[in-house]
Structure 1
Amino acid sequence: MSKSDPNPYSLPPDLPVPQDDGACAHLPDRVVPDIMLTATEGEQWNLAHIAQARAVVYVYPATGVPGKDPIPDWDAIPGAPGCTLQSLGFRDHYPEFQELGYPVFGISGQRSEEQAEFKHRTLLPLVLLSDPQFQLRDRLGLPTFQAHGKEFYKRLVLVLRAGKIHRVFYPVFPPDQCAAMVLARLKETS
Protein backbone atom coordinates (compact mmCIF):
# COMPACT_ATOMS: atom_id res chain seq x y z
CA MET A 1 0.00 0.00 0.00
CA SER A 2 1.48 3.35 -0.95
CA LYS A 3 1.58 6.33 1.34
CA SER A 4 -1.29 7.94 -0.59
CA ASP A 5 -3.58 4.90 -0.37
CA PRO A 6 -6.05 4.95 2.52
CA ASN A 7 -5.59 2.28 5.19
CA PRO A 8 -9.09 1.10 6.16
CA TYR A 9 -7.87 -0.16 9.55
CA SER A 10 -6.60 3.18 10.83
CA LEU A 11 -7.83 6.75 10.67
CA PRO A 12 -5.67 9.36 8.95
CA PRO A 13 -3.86 11.64 11.42
CA ASP A 14 -5.42 14.76 9.91
CA LEU A 15 -8.95 13.37 9.66
CA PRO A 16 -11.31 16.21 8.69
CA VAL A 17 -14.18 16.73 11.11
CA PRO A 18 -17.66 16.76 9.53
CA GLN A 19 -19.84 19.71 10.53
CA ASP A 20 -23.50 19.53 11.49
CA ASP A 21 -25.18 21.06 8.47
CA GLY A 22 -28.69 20.39 9.78
CA ALA A 23 -29.28 17.76 7.09
CA CYS A 24 -30.85 15.34 9.61
CA ALA A 25 -32.85 17.79 11.73
CA HIS A 26 -36.09 16.68 10.03
CA LEU A 27 -35.67 12.98 10.87
CA PRO A 28 -36.67 12.51 14.55
CA ASP A 29 -40.23 11.18 14.90
CA ARG A 30 -40.54 10.46 11.15
CA VAL A 31 -42.42 7.28 10.31
CA VAL A 32 -40.11 4.75 8.67
CA PRO A 33 -41.52 4.03 5.18
CA ASP A 34 -41.85 0.69 3.42
CA ILE A 35 -38.49 0.37 1.69
CA MET A 36 -37.24 -3.00 0.49
CA LEU A 37 -33.47 -3.43 0.62
CA THR A 38 -31.30 -6.40 -0.34
CA ALA A 39 -29.10 -7.98 2.32
CA THR A 40 -25.70 -9.54 1.79
CA GLU A 41 -27.28 -13.00 1.91
CA GLY A 42 -29.65 -12.06 -0.92
CA GLU A 43 -32.88 -11.80 1.06
CA GLN A 44 -35.10 -8.71 1.04
CA TRP A 45 -35.65 -6.69 4.22
CA ASN A 46 -38.43 -4.14 4.71
CA LEU A 47 -37.14 -1.17 6.68
CA ALA A 48 -40.62 -0.40 8.06
CA HIS A 49 -40.80 -3.93 9.51
CA ILE A 50 -37.34 -3.57 11.05
CA ALA A 51 -38.53 -0.36 12.74
CA GLN A 52 -41.66 -1.94 14.29
CA ALA A 53 -39.83 -3.09 17.41
CA ARG A 54 -36.49 -1.36 17.81
CA ALA A 55 -33.23 -1.39 15.94
CA VAL A 56 -30.02 0.52 15.33
CA VAL A 57 -29.25 1.34 11.71
CA TYR A 58 -25.88 2.83 10.88
CA VAL A 59 -25.56 4.43 7.48
CA TYR A 60 -22.09 4.73 5.98
CA PRO A 61 -20.60 6.00 2.70
CA ALA A 62 -18.71 2.91 1.47
CA THR A 63 -16.10 0.38 2.49
CA GLY A 64 -13.02 -0.36 0.41
CA VAL A 65 -13.20 -3.20 -2.09
CA PRO A 66 -10.08 -5.37 -2.57
CA GLY A 67 -8.61 -4.94 -6.03
CA LYS A 68 -10.55 -1.74 -6.67
CA ASP A 69 -8.77 1.62 -6.55
CA PRO A 70 -9.94 3.88 -3.72
CA ILE A 71 -11.72 7.13 -4.51
CA PRO A 72 -9.02 9.79 -4.98
CA ASP A 73 -8.61 12.09 -1.97
CA TRP A 74 -11.19 10.07 0.02
CA ASP A 75 -9.38 10.82 3.29
CA ALA A 76 -9.76 14.56 2.70
CA ILE A 77 -13.58 14.44 2.52
CA PRO A 78 -15.15 15.24 5.92
CA GLY A 79 -17.12 12.21 7.10
CA ALA A 80 -15.95 9.88 4.33
CA PRO A 81 -13.05 7.86 5.82
CA GLY A 82 -13.60 5.39 8.63
CA CYS A 83 -16.37 3.11 7.33
CA THR A 84 -14.42 -0.07 8.06
CA LEU A 85 -13.60 1.06 11.60
CA GLN A 86 -17.20 2.13 12.20
CA SER A 87 -18.41 -1.31 11.12
CA LEU A 88 -15.79 -3.07 13.25
CA GLY A 89 -17.02 -1.08 16.24
CA PHE A 90 -20.54 -2.37 15.70
CA ARG A 91 -19.13 -5.88 15.27
CA ASP A 92 -17.20 -5.65 18.53
CA HIS A 93 -20.15 -4.22 20.50
CA TYR A 94 -22.76 -6.43 18.78
CA PRO A 95 -23.41 -8.66 21.84
CA GLU A 96 -24.10 -5.59 23.98
CA PHE A 97 -26.61 -4.22 21.48
CA GLN A 98 -28.26 -7.67 21.43
CA GLU A 99 -28.47 -7.68 25.25
CA LEU A 100 -30.33 -4.36 25.11
CA GLY A 101 -32.71 -5.77 22.48
CA TYR A 102 -31.39 -3.76 19.54
CA PRO A 103 -30.59 -5.63 16.35
CA VAL A 104 -27.98 -3.74 14.32
CA PHE A 105 -28.12 -3.12 10.57
CA GLY A 106 -25.67 -1.32 8.31
CA ILE A 107 -26.75 0.46 5.12
CA SER A 108 -24.75 1.93 2.26
CA GLY A 109 -25.26 2.60 -1.42
CA GLN A 110 -22.83 -0.17 -2.33
CA ARG A 111 -23.94 -3.28 -4.20
CA SER A 112 -24.80 -6.23 -1.95
CA GLU A 113 -21.98 -8.30 -3.53
CA GLU A 114 -19.41 -5.74 -2.33
CA GLN A 115 -21.03 -5.68 1.09
CA ALA A 116 -21.02 -9.49 1.25
CA GLU A 117 -17.27 -9.59 0.58
CA PHE A 118 -16.70 -6.99 3.31
CA LYS A 119 -18.95 -8.82 5.77
CA HIS A 120 -17.11 -12.10 5.15
CA ARG A 121 -13.65 -10.51 5.34
CA THR A 122 -14.36 -8.70 8.63
CA LEU A 123 -16.57 -11.37 10.24
CA LEU A 124 -19.50 -9.00 10.79
CA PRO A 125 -22.37 -10.74 12.64
CA LEU A 126 -24.91 -8.11 11.61
CA VAL A 127 -27.00 -7.60 8.48
CA LEU A 128 -25.75 -5.19 5.81
CA LEU A 129 -28.38 -3.74 3.49
CA SER A 130 -27.76 -2.32 0.03
CA ASP A 131 -29.45 0.85 -1.22
CA PRO A 132 -27.83 1.57 -4.62
CA GLN A 133 -30.92 3.48 -5.80
CA PHE A 134 -30.72 5.78 -2.73
CA GLN A 135 -34.29 5.12 -1.65
CA LEU A 136 -33.51 6.43 1.84
CA ARG A 137 -32.39 9.73 0.30
CA ASP A 138 -35.57 9.95 -1.75
CA ARG A 139 -38.07 8.75 0.87
CA LEU A 140 -36.53 10.07 4.11
CA GLY A 141 -34.22 12.80 2.91
CA LEU A 142 -31.03 11.16 4.16
CA PRO A 143 -28.05 13.32 3.26
CA THR A 144 -25.56 12.34 0.57
CA PHE A 145 -22.39 13.75 -0.95
CA GLN A 146 -20.68 13.48 -4.33
CA ALA A 147 -17.09 12.34 -4.88
CA HIS A 148 -15.56 11.82 -8.32
CA GLY A 149 -18.92 11.47 -10.03
CA LYS A 150 -20.40 9.02 -7.52
CA GLU A 151 -22.99 9.53 -4.81
CA PHE A 152 -22.50 8.33 -1.23
CA TYR A 153 -24.55 8.52 1.95
CA LYS A 154 -23.23 10.73 4.72
CA ARG A 155 -22.41 8.81 7.89
CA LEU A 156 -25.22 8.74 10.47
CA VAL A 157 -27.02 6.42 12.87
CA LEU A 158 -30.77 5.97 13.27
CA VAL A 159 -32.32 4.48 16.39
CA LEU A 160 -35.69 3.05 15.37
CA ARG A 161 -38.57 2.34 17.77
CA ALA A 162 -42.26 1.64 17.26
CA GLY A 163 -42.14 2.34 13.53
CA LYS A 164 -40.44 5.74 13.84
CA ILE A 165 -37.01 7.29 13.92
CA HIS A 166 -36.52 7.77 17.64
CA ARG A 167 -33.05 9.31 17.63
CA VAL A 168 -30.45 10.43 15.08
CA PHE A 169 -26.69 10.61 15.55
CA TYR A 170 -25.31 13.07 13.00
CA PRO A 171 -22.65 13.95 12.20
CA VAL A 172 -20.77 10.90 13.46
CA PHE A 173 -17.22 11.61 14.58
CA PRO A 174 -14.88 9.96 15.13
CA PRO A 175 -16.21 6.97 13.19
CA ASP A 176 -14.25 4.38 15.17
CA GLN A 177 -16.07 5.50 18.35
CA CYS A 178 -19.55 5.53 16.79
CA ALA A 179 -20.81 2.19 18.13
CA ALA A 180 -19.54 2.90 21.65
CA MET A 181 -21.21 6.34 21.65
CA VAL A 182 -24.55 4.94 20.47
CA LEU A 183 -24.38 2.07 22.95
CA ALA A 184 -23.62 4.44 25.85
CA ARG A 185 -26.63 6.60 24.97
CA LEU A 186 -28.92 3.56 24.69
CA LYS A 187 -27.76 2.33 28.10
CA GLU A 188 -28.52 5.76 29.59
CA THR A 189 -32.06 5.77 28.21
CA SER A 190 -33.00 2.09 28.64
Structure 2
Amino acid sequence: MIDLSKTPDDLPIPLDDGAAKHLIGMSLPNITLASTNGKSIALASYPQFLVIYCYPMTGQPNVPLPEGWDQIPGARGCTPQSCSFRDHYQELKALNADVLGLSAQTTEYQKEMASRLHLPFPVVSDADFQLQKALNLPTFTAAGMTLLKRLTIIAQAGKIVAVHYPIFPSDSDPAWVMAYLRGR
Protein backbone atom coordinates (compact mmCIF):
# COMPACT_ATOMS: atom_id res chain seq x y z
CA MET A 1 0.00 0.00 0.00
CA ILE A 2 1.35 3.41 -0.99
CA ASP A 3 1.28 6.21 1.58
CA LEU A 4 0.25 9.12 -0.64
CA SER A 5 0.63 11.64 2.19
CA LYS A 6 4.42 11.28 2.16
CA THR A 7 6.98 11.62 -0.60
CA PRO A 8 10.12 9.53 -0.93
CA ASP A 9 13.34 11.27 0.09
CA ASP A 10 15.06 10.57 -3.23
CA LEU A 11 12.64 12.24 -5.66
CA PRO A 12 14.26 14.02 -8.59
CA ILE A 13 14.06 17.81 -8.35
CA PRO A 14 12.28 19.52 -11.25
CA LEU A 15 14.25 22.18 -13.10
CA ASP A 16 12.88 25.46 -14.37
CA ASP A 17 12.49 24.88 -18.10
CA GLY A 18 11.00 28.35 -18.66
CA ALA A 19 7.59 26.91 -19.55
CA ALA A 20 5.73 29.28 -17.20
CA LYS A 21 7.59 32.57 -17.75
CA HIS A 22 4.98 33.87 -20.19
CA LEU A 23 2.13 33.73 -17.66
CA ILE A 24 2.77 36.84 -15.56
CA GLY A 25 0.62 39.70 -16.85
CA MET A 26 -1.82 37.43 -18.70
CA SER A 27 -5.53 37.60 -17.93
CA LEU A 28 -7.37 34.52 -16.81
CA PRO A 29 -9.59 33.39 -19.67
CA ASN A 30 -13.34 33.77 -19.47
CA ILE A 31 -14.00 30.06 -19.04
CA THR A 32 -16.03 28.08 -16.55
CA LEU A 33 -14.86 24.75 -15.11
CA ALA A 34 -16.72 22.06 -13.17
CA SER A 35 -15.72 21.73 -9.52
CA THR A 36 -15.92 19.26 -6.68
CA ASN A 37 -18.47 21.42 -4.84
CA GLY A 38 -21.01 20.84 -7.63
CA LYS A 39 -20.75 24.37 -8.99
CA SER A 40 -19.28 25.69 -12.18
CA ILE A 41 -16.52 28.17 -11.45
CA ALA A 42 -15.74 31.16 -13.65
CA LEU A 43 -12.02 31.70 -13.11
CA ALA A 44 -11.91 35.31 -14.30
CA SER A 45 -14.68 36.42 -11.93
CA TYR A 46 -12.75 36.56 -8.64
CA PRO A 47 -12.41 40.20 -7.50
CA GLN A 48 -9.57 39.66 -5.00
CA PHE A 49 -6.68 37.19 -5.08
CA LEU A 50 -7.23 33.77 -6.59
CA VAL A 51 -4.66 31.05 -5.98
CA ILE A 52 -4.83 28.20 -8.50
CA TYR A 53 -2.49 25.37 -7.69
CA CYS A 54 -2.12 23.03 -10.64
CA TYR A 55 -1.01 19.46 -10.07
CA PRO A 56 -0.55 16.39 -12.31
CA MET A 57 -2.86 13.84 -10.65
CA THR A 58 -3.67 12.52 -7.23
CA GLY A 59 -3.21 8.88 -6.50
CA GLN A 60 -5.88 6.79 -4.87
CA PRO A 61 -5.38 4.44 -1.92
CA ASN A 62 -4.71 0.85 -3.01
CA VAL A 63 -4.26 1.87 -6.67
CA PRO A 64 -0.71 1.72 -8.02
CA LEU A 65 0.80 4.92 -9.35
CA PRO A 66 1.79 4.92 -13.03
CA GLU A 67 4.98 3.01 -13.85
CA GLY A 68 8.02 5.22 -13.22
CA TRP A 69 5.97 7.97 -11.52
CA ASP A 70 8.55 8.67 -8.83
CA GLN A 71 11.29 9.14 -11.45
CA ILE A 72 9.44 11.98 -13.23
CA PRO A 73 10.69 15.27 -11.73
CA GLY A 74 7.79 17.06 -10.04
CA ALA A 75 5.19 14.33 -10.54
CA ARG A 76 4.96 12.88 -7.03
CA GLY A 77 3.52 15.04 -4.25
CA CYS A 78 -0.02 16.02 -5.22
CA THR A 79 -1.56 14.78 -1.96
CA PRO A 80 0.98 16.59 0.28
CA GLN A 81 0.47 19.76 -1.79
CA SER A 82 -3.31 19.60 -1.42
CA CYS A 83 -3.05 18.83 2.31
CA SER A 84 -0.68 21.75 2.79
CA PHE A 85 -3.15 24.13 1.13
CA ARG A 86 -5.88 22.63 3.33
CA ASP A 87 -3.80 23.16 6.46
CA HIS A 88 -3.05 26.80 5.56
CA TYR A 89 -6.46 27.61 4.11
CA GLN A 90 -7.57 29.93 6.93
CA GLU A 91 -4.31 31.89 6.71
CA LEU A 92 -4.80 32.28 2.96
CA LYS A 93 -8.40 33.43 3.46
CA ALA A 94 -7.16 35.99 6.01
CA LEU A 95 -4.89 37.32 3.24
CA ASN A 96 -7.99 37.82 1.00
CA ALA A 97 -7.17 34.85 -1.21
CA ASP A 98 -9.49 32.18 -2.56
CA VAL A 99 -7.93 28.81 -3.34
CA LEU A 100 -8.65 26.34 -6.13
CA GLY A 101 -6.92 23.08 -6.92
CA LEU A 102 -6.78 22.19 -10.61
CA SER A 103 -5.86 19.07 -12.55
CA ALA A 104 -6.80 17.37 -15.80
CA GLN A 105 -8.59 14.62 -13.90
CA THR A 106 -12.36 14.39 -14.12
CA THR A 107 -14.53 15.99 -11.47
CA GLU A 108 -15.71 12.55 -10.35
CA TYR A 109 -12.11 11.44 -9.78
CA GLN A 110 -11.35 14.69 -7.96
CA LYS A 111 -14.40 14.38 -5.68
CA GLU A 112 -13.01 11.22 -4.09
CA MET A 113 -9.73 12.98 -3.30
CA ALA A 114 -11.36 16.20 -2.07
CA SER A 115 -13.62 14.22 0.26
CA ARG A 116 -10.86 11.89 1.51
CA LEU A 117 -8.52 14.81 2.23
CA HIS A 118 -11.29 17.04 3.69
CA LEU A 119 -10.43 19.97 1.43
CA PRO A 120 -12.28 23.17 2.41
CA PHE A 121 -11.93 24.64 -1.10
CA PRO A 122 -13.09 23.41 -4.50
CA VAL A 123 -10.95 21.50 -6.96
CA VAL A 124 -11.69 22.19 -10.61
CA SER A 125 -11.32 19.90 -13.59
CA ASP A 126 -9.52 20.92 -16.75
CA ALA A 127 -10.16 17.51 -18.34
CA ASP A 128 -10.79 19.20 -21.71
CA PHE A 129 -7.62 21.30 -21.34
CA GLN A 130 -9.48 24.60 -21.77
CA LEU A 131 -7.34 26.50 -19.27
CA GLN A 132 -4.19 24.66 -20.30
CA LYS A 133 -4.67 25.66 -23.94
CA ALA A 134 -5.76 29.23 -23.18
CA LEU A 135 -2.69 29.90 -21.01
CA ASN A 136 -0.32 27.39 -22.64
CA LEU A 137 0.30 25.74 -19.28
CA PRO A 138 3.17 23.24 -19.23
CA THR A 139 2.30 19.54 -19.47
CA PHE A 140 4.01 16.17 -19.58
CA THR A 141 2.94 12.68 -20.60
CA ALA A 142 2.96 9.63 -18.32
CA ALA A 143 1.27 6.26 -18.81
CA GLY A 144 -0.44 7.61 -21.93
CA MET A 145 -1.99 10.55 -20.03
CA THR A 146 -1.31 14.22 -20.67
CA LEU A 147 -0.96 15.89 -17.28
CA LEU A 148 -0.33 19.40 -16.02
CA LYS A 149 3.05 20.17 -14.54
CA ARG A 150 2.91 21.38 -10.96
CA LEU A 151 2.66 25.18 -10.79
CA THR A 152 0.76 27.79 -8.86
CA ILE A 153 -0.82 30.92 -10.26
CA ILE A 154 -1.78 33.95 -8.19
CA ALA A 155 -4.26 36.19 -9.96
CA GLN A 156 -5.63 39.50 -8.74
CA ALA A 157 -8.92 40.67 -10.26
CA GLY A 158 -8.45 38.19 -13.11
CA LYS A 159 -4.85 39.11 -14.00
CA ILE A 160 -1.92 36.79 -13.26
CA VAL A 161 0.47 38.61 -10.92
CA ALA A 162 2.75 35.77 -9.77
CA VAL A 163 3.66 32.21 -10.74
CA HIS A 164 5.47 29.59 -8.67
CA TYR A 165 7.23 27.12 -10.97
CA PRO A 166 8.72 24.64 -10.56
CA ILE A 167 7.54 23.68 -7.08
CA PHE A 168 9.66 21.44 -4.89
CA PRO A 169 8.95 20.03 -2.44
CA SER A 170 5.28 20.12 -3.24
CA ASP A 171 4.13 20.92 0.30
CA SER A 172 6.24 24.13 0.32
CA ASP A 173 3.85 25.83 -2.08
CA PRO A 174 1.46 27.53 0.42
CA ALA A 175 4.41 29.13 2.25
CA TRP A 176 5.54 30.69 -1.04
CA VAL A 177 1.99 31.94 -1.72
CA MET A 178 1.62 33.45 1.76
CA ALA A 179 5.02 35.15 1.56
CA TYR A 180 4.02 36.70 -1.77
CA LEU A 181 0.63 37.87 -0.45
CA ARG A 182 2.15 39.32 2.73
CA GLY A 183 4.71 41.22 0.67
CA ARG A 184 2.07 42.95 -1.46
Shift of 1:179: 1.0
2:105 is the alignment partner of 1:106: no
Contact 1:59 1:157 in 2 (8 A): yes
Bigger mean CA deviation after superposition, 14-23 or 175-184? 175-184
Alignment counterpart, residue 177 of structure 1, candidates 155, 169, 172: 172
Shift of 1:186: 1.4
The one-letter code of the counterpart of 1:45 is I
Q: Residue 64 of structure 1: SS of its match in structure 2?
A: coil
2:43 is the alignment partner of 1:47: yes
The one-letter code of the counterpart of 1:178 is D
Shift of 1:53: 2.6
Contact 2:48 2:96 in 1 (8 A): no
2:29 is the alignment partner of 1:33: yes
Contact 1:37 1:131 in 2 (8 A): yes
Indicate the residue corresponding to 1:14 in structure 2: 10
Indicate the residue corresponding to 1:79 in structure 2: 74
Shift of 1:162: 2.0
| Runs of 4+, deviation exceeding 4 Å | none
State how far apart, in whole Å, the 2-side matches of 1:71 and 1:107 are.
Answer: 19
Shift of 1:11: 1.0
State how far apart, in whole Å, the 2-side matches of 1:157 and 1:84 are.
Answer: 15
Aligned pairs, how many? 184
Deviations 1:131-161 (A, max 9, x none): 1011122111000000011110000000011
State how far apart, in whole Å, the 1-side matches of 2:142 and 2:172 are.
Answer: 24
TM-score when normalising by structure 1: 0.93
Q: Residue 114 of structure 1: SS of its match in structure 2?
A: helix
TM-score when normalising by structure 2: 0.96
State how far apart, in whole Å, the 1-side matches of 2:116 and 2:175 are.
Answer: 22
5+ residue gaps, structure 2: none
- Identity between Structure 1 and Structure 2 (%): 45
Deviations 1:59-88 (A, max 9, x none): 000101245332111111001000000000
5+ residue gaps, structure 1: none
Deviations 1:26-82 (A, max 9, x none): 1001011111110012221111113x4321110000101245332111111001000
The one-letter code of the counterpart of 1:76 is Q
Contact 1:65 1:114 in 2 (8 A): no
Contact 2:74 2:150 in 1 (8 A): yes
The one-letter code of the counterpart of 2:136 is G
Deviations 1:109-135 (A, max 9, x none): 011111111111111101100110111
Indicate the residue corresponding to 2:60 in structure 1: 65
Shift of 1:188: 2.1
